Structure 1
């Protein structure tokens, strides 16, 4: 196993095609599989109405890491390899993810996504919401061809994803541990779709029930680590590195793990930062001050160590699998998602 370590940070989420452990043969198969996924996405997002086709392809055209479909393809390589059903499942997962981004940007009032104008900035909130719905429908249409089990999994995934987003938009209920609440939100809003990506890959490549469950659990833990790292990146990085506006979570009043650690502090020297974090951060100067103070706070190191620990727990799940190039690449992927900077 390749343990998570504080290696030099990568600029973006690492592609499986670039990871240590991905041999030339594995990269070739994954590259061909990803090309097939992209072709299917482009085909299914296209529309007779030019405006709908343009809006639907807006985020696809802006690029993206294709992290989830790559995970589906790699999970398939753990078993009997990539086939047409695996490609379709990977496309369905990615379209579900893209649909959620259209809605996210409306909720976040984001101006930038992947270094380009967000869909809501380009087309307005109403169109962005409706195009997100259209992509959810397209994803479901693709998954429906994979059989009733796939449809059930897609529906259950969508329920958890939406419930996580709803809870993410609301304060932690009184009497509930804020950290546990936050981690539960992450499991639903991010972990579940990445779990489904890995689960589909093993499922549609002929894996047995034990392997399918192993990949599902790995994916959920990997998804948690991915989102924890994303929350740190929102604080640490700038727009040139991420293609997103830094401090978006702070401006919205979202209490991510570093913020929760600061707010739980009884150190008097943290009082000013606590006041900033619980106050109105719509002012650019106040937001910039909060970001500066938070970046230098020990809470960031504490949150980073928790993120690494979750990634290590994802790697631990893989010990049940026989050794293979795909397993090595999965281990490296878990390291890569938490050492990236964008």
Structure 2
């Protein structure tokens, strides 16, 4: 790897731990490249399209880091980290079709480059590849992978639908986040603890930490969708707004009783397919107190993730996990 990925720039992390994580991520990348390779050249290219565009490798890095709470990175940890990343990449292909996205990680999305049908099928191919990788690790990891996949799909389905009339919109939104993002991050942390040889108690703690961390990560992503300018995050700003998704700042803005918010609320419940309407909604929402409120609540979720680590003894890995929770909510992309 030519440089340490930004997500590895964790304050207070020792040089030795950073070196082990960078080396581990390089091994994960090599593992992924082997799995992307297909007899058909087109399939190889399509399967590796989004991976080749880069990304933070946040989930596999978490698997590697958590393993350091135990005996550290080994071949099983590398395989588990790769399996988690393959699952994540597969979900991105499906997400882009559902969102009709045009850009992902600064490159044309898979649906734009290959068409919806091929993008869906490549996502399926990657899900199958992830399952094959995890199957080599034993029966329990396979069951965890299956349960993760069920929750991930459930979250995505509910994310594409409005909250039922009798549901609390905020609770519905947070439950969707726990499934569509939190569960895979929880599994990444759980695998790291399992294959790093940690005790059952630490495995349980890391699963809880991972889910809370994943929630904070997704809440931050939802804020970035609104706050970022085109090109900053590698995705098109306002995608969630255009899709009508009720993210945290949107829910707060809609709950406002200030008459001055009438225009913003009108836009937020309207069709934002027109670029001018979307731009106006983004401008108004970026300046609204709902953004600061959502940022503070996102930081609170990260704090609750850190609280899970209180029962762990002091170590370099624990310090890095604390820094990671802070870092995911302060990023710009």
Q: Same fold (TM over 0.5)?
A: yes
For residue 198 of structure 1, what is the aligned residue in structure 2?
189
Conserved 8 A contact 2:93-2:110:
yes
Relative to the length of structure 1, the TM-score reads: 0.95
**What is the aligned partner in structure 2 of residue 261 from structure 1?**
252
Which ranges of structure 2 fall in alignment gaps of 5 or more residues? none
Q: Is 2:73 the partner of 1:79?
A: no
Whole-angstrom distance in 1 between the partners of 2:198 and 2:230: 41
Q: 1-side partners of 2:262 and 2:127: how far apart?
A: 44
Residue matched to 2:106: 115
Deviation of the 1:20 alpha carbon:
1.1
Q: C-alpha offsets along residues 99-140 of structure 1, whole Å, 9 cap, x if unaligned?
A: 000000000000100000011110000000000000000000
The answer to whether residue 224 in structure 2 is matched with residue 233 in structure 1 is yes
CA distance in structure 1 between the partners assigned to 2:8 and 2:265 by the alignment = 42
Give the length in aligned residue pairs: 330
Residue equivalent to 2:139: 148
Question: What's the CA shift string for 1:137-180, capped at 9, x where partnerless?
Answer: 00000000000000000000000000000000000001110000
Instruction: State whether residues 21 and 326 of structure 1, in contact with CA within 8 Å, keep that contact through their aligned partners in structure 2.
Output: no
1:311 corresponds to 2:268: no
Check whether the contact 1:86–1:201 (CA below 8 A) recurs between aligned residues.
yes
Give the drift of 1:16: 4.7
Q: Does 1:273 align with 2:296?
A: no
CA shift at 1:315, angstroms? 0.3
Correspondences of 1:282-321 after superposition (within 5 Å): 282-321=273-312
2:129 aligned with 1:129, yes or no?
no
Assess if the C-alpha contact under 8 Å between 1:95 and 1:136 holds in 2: yes
Match of 2:90 in 1: 99
RMSD: 1.0
Question: Does the Cα contact within 8 Å between 2:7 and 2:56 map onto a contact in 1?
Answer: no
**Greater RCO between the two (CA within 8 Å, min separation 6)?**
1
Per the alignment, residue 18 of structure 2 pairs with 27
Please state if 1:326 is matched with 2:317: yes
SS of structure 2 residue aligned to 1:228: helix
Distance 1:18 1:263 in 2: 37
| TM-score normalised by L of structure 2 | 0.98
- Post-superposition shift, 1:14? 6.9
C-alpha deviation, 1:15, in angstroms: 3.9
Q: Distance in 2 between matches of 1:14 and 1:64?
A: 9
SS at structure 1 position matched to 2:295: helix
> How far apart, CA to CA, are the structure 2 residues paired with 1:101 and 1:93?
13
CA distance in 2, matches of 1:238, 1:122: 23
Q: Report what 2:178 is aligned to.
A: 187
Contact 1:194 1:222 in 2 (8 A): yes
Aligned counterparts of 1:332 and 1:138: Cα–Cα separation in 2: 32
